[in-house]
Amino acid sequence: MILLVETNFVLELAYGQEEYASCRALVDLARSNDAVSLALPAYCVGEAYERQIRRQREREALQRRLAAELGELSRSQTHAGRLEEVGEVTALLAESAEEERRRLESVLVELYEDAMLIPLDESVTREAHRQQRRRGLGPQDALVYASVLAHLRRSAGGALPEGSESCFVTRDNDFADDDVRADLDDLGCKLLFRFNAALRYVRSRLP
C-alpha cells in the first residue's frame, strides 16, 4: 500500500491537531510494516515551512499589538490587577510559535527517514501548469497534484512493486472534484479526505 500525503499531513503531526493520532499511526505503520509506504511531494516541505513562517509572523504581530495595549492599560490603576494575566498570554504566543517551529523541524526529519520524497522536477512543474488549466487547480494545489500523478504513473510503469495499491489522502477540498477522482481511479488510486479514514482503509488492506 502506497499512501500519498501532502502538506496538511505534515502540519497535523507538527501541530498535534484533531487527527494527529491517525497520522502518527500511519507513520508508525510505514516504519514497521514493509507492506505500507508513505510518499510526500517534495514541494510540500517548502509549503509547510511557508505556512509555519506565516503563522509565526501572525503570532508575533498579535504579540506586538497586545504589548502595545498592555502599555496603555498599565497607565490605568483600574486594570493593574489583571495585567499579569494578559502578560502570560503574550508570553504563551511567543513560546508556542517557537515550539511549533521545533516540532515541524522534528516531524520533517522523521519523514525524511520514513517517507519517499517525490521530486519537484521539470516534468512535475510542466504537468502542474497543465493541471491548472485542465482541472482548475491553483498553483500550489497543482504542484501537489502533479507530483502525485507523477508518482502514480511511475508506479504504473513498474517503478514500484506490481499490484501495489495506492491511496491519496488530503484535507484540501479543492481536490473534491469528480474529474480529479476519475484521474486517480484510472491510476488505481483511492482518494480520501480524512486521515482517520485513511488509517482504517490502510489497515483493512493489510493481510
Q: In sequence order, what DSSP letters do the residues of 60-110 get, joined into one string?
A: HHHHHHHHHHHHHHTT-GGGGGGHHHHHHHHHHHHHHHHHHHHHHHHHHHH
Question: pLDDT tens across 127-163, in order?
Answer: 999 999 999 999 999 999 999 999 999 876 644 455 5
Query: Domain-by-domain residue ranges, the chain?
Result: 2-54+98-205
- Mean pLDDT for 43-52 is 92
CATH superfamily entry for domain 2-54+98-205: 5'-nuclease (3.40.50.1010)
Residue 91 confidence (pLDDT): 66
Q: What is the pLDDT of residue 53?
A: 86
Residue with cell 486594570: 79
